[in-house]
Amino acid sequence: MSSILNIINNPAPDDTFNRKKLAKQSLIEFCATTVFIYFGTLSAISTGTKLGDGTGIGQDVARIMPIAFTFGITIMCLAYSIGHITGGHMNPGVSFLMFLHRQISFTKMIFYWMAQFSGSIVASALVWGSTSNLGEVSYGGGSNSDGASLMYPNTPFLLGSTTLNDKISVGNGFLLETMGSFFFYFVISQTALDERGIAKSKFPAIPIGFSLVVVHICLIPFTGCGVNPARTFGPAVMTCMVASANGVAGDCEAAIGDFWWIYYVGPLMAALLVVEVSSLMHWDVEGIATMVSSAEQQGDMDAGNKMLNYDAAKHEDDFDDEEEGVVLECDHHQQQQQMSRKKVNKNEEEVLLYAANAEDCDVGHRGAVIGNSSASPSY
């Protein structure tokens, strides 16, 4: 239920708006998945040829260990190589896990799935191209034109396909694949996503790689160890294609069988279980997260109040400054008016003084004229 609620309550990340980036990441996932499955399944063929004396029978420690470490070290190296670009999934089950954790959107998960399943087919085609001549080598079981016995005359060791041990039931195989996937995905979830652990460091790929080694050591004798739908899909499809082209149906039936679904349902079921367990592990039983959230909200409210008070004080200061500016401007205008009035008064005084002087000059002139007139003789 937690996974479903997580999908409902948390929106998917907007990681598909840049189509060029999505295409680049999908192409990188395709290439990485191709490399991973090529070397992993090739180790199953090489160890069967060299360590099993060509029979492929008796999966002893000498054969299991190289296969397990090949898968584990390859996934670790590739995670370091592309993890910072695509997340380093190379596994549809891991992509489904990231979707449930709301790390990627549904659309991106579908693009990754197409890249991963396509890469697995290409990887198996490359494995067949690299080992097809082994069909001419004597193995045991079947025969070629020379009468030499062959185990798989068309696809050596079924190209590393995952097959169920005939001594255990399909239910046993389903439980094994589910538990192996659960352990592998749980390590991924807690080391690559949980920031309280080593997710922020540069080392999540190391425990992820070694967890895959452990799972392979335990599951190879029983199911061949899938824990990755793409790892099962490519070899099975390519084996059936080659067998069909050569008219041999036995290889396809051996690679698929009635147990095929455990390699797909098991990992997806494990991803759901990992999300449920992770939610339980992150359950805040002490209310610390609530207290922190409340403190953060209170801090945000205090910060908001301080900001409001600051803005109010700033506006008040601005208003005071504007009011003071208006007052100063008014005083300046009043001073200019007073100066203008003084200048006008001064000009008026100068005009009046000039007029008085002019009048005095006229009076003096008239007096002089009168005096001159009385002093001069009359003829």
What pLDDT digit, counting tens, does each position of 34-66 carry? 999 999 999 998 887 666 555 545 456 678 899
Higher pLDDT, residue 305 or 257: 257
List pLDDT tens digits, range 158-197.
899 999 999 999 999 999 999 999 999 999 999 988 877 7
Mean model confidence pLDDT for the chain: 79
First to last CA, the chain: 148
For residue 132, pLDDT beyond 50: yes
Q: Lowest-confidence range among 3-12, 252-261, 297-306?
A: 297-306
CB 136 within 8 A of CB 144: yes
For residue 130, pLDDT beyond 50: yes
- The tokens of 253 are what? 């039936």
The CB density around residue 51, as the number of other CB atoms within 10 Å, is 18
For residue 151, pLDDT beyond 80: no
For residue 207, pLDDT beyond 70: yes
> Mean pLDDT over residues 251-274, rounded?
92
> What contacts 35, CB < 8 A, 6 or more positions away?
74, 78, 123
* Cα–Cα distance measured from residue 285 to residue 279, given in angstroms and rounded to the nearest whole number: 12
List pLDDT tens digits, range 267-280.
999 999 999 998 88
Higher pLDDT, residue 261 or 363: 261
* Cα–Cα distance measured from residue 183 to residue 191, given in angstroms and rounded to the nearest whole number: 12
Q: Lowest-confidence range among 176-180, 214-218, 234-238, 291-295?
A: 291-295
Amino acid of residue 121: I
Q: What is the structure's pLDDT at 147?
A: 42
Q: Lowest-confidence range among 106-110, 127-131, 137-141, 150-154?
A: 137-141
Higher pLDDT, residue 135 or 253: 253
Q: How far is CA 27 from CA 35, 60, 371, in A?
A: 13, 37, 129
Higher pLDDT, residue 189 or 344: 189
Q: For 204-229, give one letter per residue: b (16+ CB within 10 A) or e.
A: bbbbbbbbbbebbbbbbebbbbbbbb
> Mean pLDDT over residues 236-265, rounded?
87
* Cα–Cα distance measured from residue 252 to residue 258, given in angstroms and rounded to the nearest whole number: 11
Q: What is the structure's pLDDT at 25?
A: 97
Q: What is the structure's pLDDT at 138?
A: 45
For residue 347, pLDDT beyond 90: no
> Mean pLDDT over residues 284-288, rounded?
69
